[in-house]
Amino acid sequence: MFADDQLSDDKFLCGRLRLLQPLKGYRAATDPVLLAAACPAQPGDSVLDLGCGAGAAALCLGWRVPGLMLAGLELQPDYADLARRNAQRNGIALQVHEGDIARMPTALRRDFDHVIANPPYYPPGGSPSPVAGRARAMQVDTPLSDWVAAATRRLRPGGWLTLICGADGLPQVLSALGTKLGSAAVLPLQPREGRPALRILLQARKGGRAPFRLLAPFVIHAGLEHDGDRESYTPQANAVLRDGADLVAPFR
């Protein structure tokens, strides 16, 4: 487990949420915040976060939507321990289970209204991080199709999958939806106007039959290029990343 001197105390949602994170290792940034903002959960719903890490996505969602039944699955015990600590210190109920998506713990073998996931998206090979926890959290080991399959098994009929991944993983994700998940919509996440989308948010419904939709891009940074060491979020991104607004409307 991480010792206290190995951790930072980081502000999310402009300090509305505070998360302990390792100084060295995988550190949550904008992806889990965007993922949580896109989940269409309502009070009383059950939500499973696959690969919950230190709890950023589940806890951002729990802050925005009170009264959820939140559960997380995390492969690395030290991150699972952090997720439990972060849930307690923020006063948000989150049941964290240790295990692999391929061998789901018995307690999680039930139906959920929502499954959210932020799978690793850096391809294997190249130069992995020298920090084992960061490398494992960010480099693809389990195919995206396996993440989609695991989510599908855990969703109730009519339940929603919300997933964030690299744009290059979209073909694999769409292929993995198969016949069980439909009504899919994809929101490209564009770093700036005129730049290619590097990440996407996807929603799909178990048993959904609506046509596929490719949504207008969500632009994160204002201006055509970085112009100094200052925050440059668009007003829409600022509302989500700092103020805790949702990203549900584009999917409706």
The CATH fold of domain 4-23+31-220+230-251: Rossmann fold (3.40.50)
- pLDDT, residue 128, reads 52
Distance CA 130, CA 136 (A): 10
Please give the structure tokens belonging to residue 11: 């502000």
Please give the structure tokens belonging to residue 109: 């073998």
What is the pTM (predicted TM-score) of this model?
Answer: 0.91
Question: 61-80 pLDDT, tens per residue?
Answer: 999 999 999 999 999 999 99
Please give the structure tokens belonging to residue 197: 């989308």
Interval 213-233 mean pLDDT = 83
Interval 205-217 mean pLDDT = 98
Domain chopping of the chain, boundaries: 4-23+31-220+230-251
Q: CB within 8 A of 141, min separation 6: which ones? A: 120, 124
- pLDDT, residue 217, reads 98
Regarding predicted confidence, which is higher, 170 or 138? Answer: 170
CB 185 within 8 A of CB 174: no
Question: 8-61 pLDDT, tens per residue?
Answer: 999 999 999 999 999 998 999 999 999 999 999 999 999 999 999 999 999 999
Distance CA 39, CA 203 (A): 8
Chain centroid to CA 40 = 13
